[in-house]
């Protein structure tokens, strides 16, 4: 596994009571150890590429990234095999090993035109998708535009890409660093590669 931007950090927490607690504790900002907000991981064997970006939420509600951990992912499948995108394959843990659950709006995608794969995915909301796993996650009805802007779940065909936001329980108020791991698999759950991003929490306005 090769990382163009070597160090990233991520974390999360969820739901109303926890949101209020995180707000009272003060807000940090997830960044790489270099202070950057964009990190790219590439697997030279399969060609899978993931771009993770922090602090770019501009949806509704505007304060969502103060209540949850919000990161944007672009996943490009440059391999020769279909790749499963599923909520149970993403895991966020802090430096103590504490896990922050992914908050899942239930967005999915499907291929609508096999002859135009680069732009042929449609989105919908349903709960009968493959959850992947074995990591637990929290299904919920999202506020505002969080659902339509979420990273959707489905099978990513070779030569195509998908993008969207991941939401986790809030991490910045309770930890100094975390690691986001995507355990990429094929649709039959055969393991392909683990993509990891190591992140830190910048505080006192320093990003």
Segments forming the whole domain that contains residue 69: 2-195
- Domain membership flag for residue 206: no
Separation of alpha carbons 46 and 26, rounded Å? 41
Secondary structure class of 174 (helix, strand, coil): coil
- Domain membership flag for residue 202: no
- Domain membership flag for residue 25: yes
Task: Pull the structure tokens for residue 87.
Answer: 């909520």
- Nearest of 155, 178, 151, 176 to residue 166 by alpha carbon: 151
**Residue located via tokens 């931007």:** 5
Q: Please state whether beta strands 2-3 and 177-185 pair in parallel, antiparallel, or not at all (unpaired).
A: unpaired
Separation of alpha carbons 192 and 160, rounded Å? 17
Secondary structure class of 3 (helix, strand, coil): strand
- Domain membership flag for residue 201: no
Beta bridge partners of 85: 154
For 97-117, the pLDDT digits (tens) are 999 999 999 999 987 665 654
- Domain membership flag for residue 41: yes
**Residue located via tokens 């055969």:** 190
Number of domains in the chain: 1
- pLDDT tens digits in sequence order for the chain, 207 residues long: 332 322 223 333 333 333 444 444 446 889 888 889 999 999 999 999 999 999 999 999 999 999 999 999 999 999 999 999 999 999 999 999 999 999 999 999 987 665 654 555 777 777 889 999 989 999 999 899 999 999 999 999 999 999 999 999 999 888 999 999 999 999 999 999 999 999 999 986 544
For 20-56, the pLDDT digits (tens) are 444 444 468 898 888 899 999 999 999 999 999 999 9
Task: Pull the structure tokens for residue 190.
Answer: 């055969």
- Domain membership flag for residue 65: yes
- Domain membership flag for residue 207: no
- Nearest of 11, 19, 10, 15 to residue 66 by alpha carbon: 19
Beta bridge partners of 155: 84
How far is CA 63 from its chain centroid?
A: 18
């Amino acid at each position: 596994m090769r990382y163009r931007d070597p160090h990233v950090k991520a974390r999360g927490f969820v739901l109303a009571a926890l949101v209020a607690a995180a707000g009272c504790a003060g807000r940090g900002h997830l960044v790489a150890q270099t202070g950057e907000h964009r990190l790219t991981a590439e697997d030279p064997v399969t060609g899978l590429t993931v771009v993770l970006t922090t602090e770019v939420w501009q949806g509704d509600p505007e304060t969502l990234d103060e209540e949850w951990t919000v990161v944007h992912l672009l996943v490009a499948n440059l391999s020769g095999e279909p790749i499963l995108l599923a909520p149970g394959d993403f895991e966020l843990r802090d430096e103590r090993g504490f896990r922050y659950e992914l908050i899942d709006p239930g967005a999915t995608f499907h291929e609508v035109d096999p002859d135009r794969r680069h732009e042929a995915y449609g989105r919908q909301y349903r709960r009968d998708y493959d959850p992947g796993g074995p990591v637990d996650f929290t299904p919920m009805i999202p506020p505002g535009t969080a659902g339509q802007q979420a990273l959707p779940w489905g099978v990513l065909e070779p030569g195509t890409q998908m993008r969207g936001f991941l939401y986790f329980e809030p991490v910045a108020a309770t930890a100094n660093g975390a690691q986001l791991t995507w355990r990429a698999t094929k649709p039959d759950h055969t393991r392909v590669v683990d993509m990891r991003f190591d992140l830190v929490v910048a505080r006192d306005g320093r990003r």
